Every structure is written in structure tokens, then in C-alpha cells.
């Protein structure tokens, strides 16, 4: 979950998520990257935040293959941490 006004989100996007290295890692591992944009608050995203006991963003969730249970990732991401998931 991200928003245009979220500085931490923008940092993670520029330095980690939207880099060739991580985009390639996602492609190689069949990761489907979904974004929920909370720039203008919306009740569905607010409900998602509530479900994971968060009052703010960013919220990064990783669903391992064949699992319905999400792993909540740290608010500040690193390339190394994402590589370790795979």
C-alpha cells in the first residue's frame, strides 16, 4: 500500500522496487507485484490496513507460493532483504 504523499513509499520505489535488479528478480520468480494506492483514502484499503493492524503506510505484504498467509515486510525495504525472500 502506497500513496503519492508517502515519502517512505517513494524512497522504496526509487531505490528498491522500481530498479532493474528487483524488477528482474520479480520476473525470474514469477512475482505478481500489486499496488494499492491510498493517495485518496478509500475504505477498502483502510480495511486492509486494519486487517494487518496498521494505522499508516507503507504496508508491504508478501504471499509465499501456495500460501494464503501474508508475510508483512518492513516499512523500509532493501534489495538484499527482497533477494532473501527467494
Per-residue model confidence as pLDDT tens digits over 47-82: 999 999 999 999 999 999 989 899 999 999 999 999
Contact 20, 29 (CB under 8 A): no
With 0-12 CB in 10 A as exposed, 13-18 as middle and 19+ as buried, what is 10?
middle
With a cut of 90, say whether residue 2 has pLDDT above it.
yes
Distance in angstroms (rounded) separating the CA atoms of residues 86 and 58: 22
- Parallel, antiparallel, or unpaired: how do β-strands 71-73 and 60-62 relate? antiparallel
The position carrying cell 501456495 is 66
Contact 39, 5 (CB under 8 A): yes
Q: Does the pTM exceed 0.95?
A: no
Amino acid at each position: 500500500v502506497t500513496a503519492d504523499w508517502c515519502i517512505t513509499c517513494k524512497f522504496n520505489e526509487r531505490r528498491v522496487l522500481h530498479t532493474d535488479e528487483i524488477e528482474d528478480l520479480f520476473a525470474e520468480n514469477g512475482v505478481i507485484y500489486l499496488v494499492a494506492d491510498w493517495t485518496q483514502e478509500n475504505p477498502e484499503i483502510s480495511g486492509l490496513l486494519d486487517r494487518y493492524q496498521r494505522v499508516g503506510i507503507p504496508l508491504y505484504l508478501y504471499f509465499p507460493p501456495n500460501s494464503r498467509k501474508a508475510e508483512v515486510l518492513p516499512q523500509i525495504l532493501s534489495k538484499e532483504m527482497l533477494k532473501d525472500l527467494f
